[in-house]
Amino acid sequence: MSALAGGDVAIVKGLAKLLDEAVTIPVINRKVGLDAVLGLIPGIGDIGSSAIGGYILLTASKLGVPAVVMWRMLLNLGIDAAIGLIPFAGDFLDAAYKSNTKNAKLLAQAMTEPQQAKRASRWALAGLALGFVAITAASIAGAVLLVRWIVG
C-alpha cells in the first residue's frame, strides 16, 4: 500500500471511529459515536450521517477497491440508513450496527489483502442473495397455501 493510500485509510479509520465509537457509555461499557447522535435529529440526522458515511465509499472508489467489496460497503451503508428510519429503536440499532467501522475494516482489508476481501465479499453477497431468494420463495409458498386454505 502506498503512503498516500495509507493516509487515506487512516483518515477513513479516524472518521469511522468518530462516527461509531467516539465515546464509551460508562454504565453499559458500550461505544457510540456521532452517527447515533445525529440519528436523533429527525430526517436530517440520518441523511447527514449517510452522507458522511458515503465519504468512506468515495475514498474506497478512489483507491481502486474491487467492485464486489464496494457493493458490500454500499450494502452496509444502506442497512445503516434503513435501520435509522425506525423511530427511536433505530437509533439504538444504529449504534449497535456500526456500518462505518465495518466499511473502514473492509477498505483496510481490500488494500492489504485484496483477494481475501473480494472472496469474503462475494460470499457475503451470495449469502444475502440466497437469503432473499429463500424469503421470496417462502412468501410465495405461504401465499399459495393461504389462497388454497381460503378457497377451500
Number of domains in the chain: 1
Mean pLDDT of 72-98: 87
pLDDT of residue 1: 61
pLDDT of residue 3: 59
Distance from C-alpha of 107 to C-alpha of 105, rounded to nearest angstrom: 5
Distance from C-alpha of 151 to C-alpha of 18, rounded to nearest angstrom: 57
pLDDT of residue 2: 62
pLDDT of residue 56: 93
Domain residues for the domain of 31 are: 3-151
Residue 131 has pLDDT above 90, yes or no: no
User: Please, which pLDDT band fits residue 121 given cuts at 50, 70 and 90?
Assistant: confident
Distance from C-alpha of 143 to C-alpha of 152, rounded to nearest angstrom: 14
Percent of the chain with pLDDT strictly greater than 90: 34
pLDDT tens readout for residues 9-57? 899 999 999 988 888 888 888 888 888 888 888 778 888 888 888 999 9
Backbone dihedral region for residue 66 (phi beyond 0: left; psi -120 to 50: alpha; all else: beta): beta
The runs of H, that is alpha helices, within the chain are: 3-20, 34-38, 44-62, 67-84, 89-97, 99-112, 114-151
User: Please, which pLDDT band fits residue 70 given cuts at 50, 70 and 90?
Assistant: very high
Mean pLDDT value across the chain:
87
Its pTM stands at 0.79
Burial category of 35 from C-beta neighbours within 10 Å (exposed 0-12, middle 13-18, buried 19 and up): buried
What are the CA-CA distances from residue 97 to residues 11, 72, 94, 101, 138 (Å)? 21, 14, 5, 9, 27
Residue 77 has pLDDT above 70, yes or no: yes
CB 78 within 8 A of CB 128: no
Please report how the helices 114-151 and 99-112 are oriented relative to each other, as an axis angle in degrees rounded to 10. 130
pLDDT of residue 150: 92
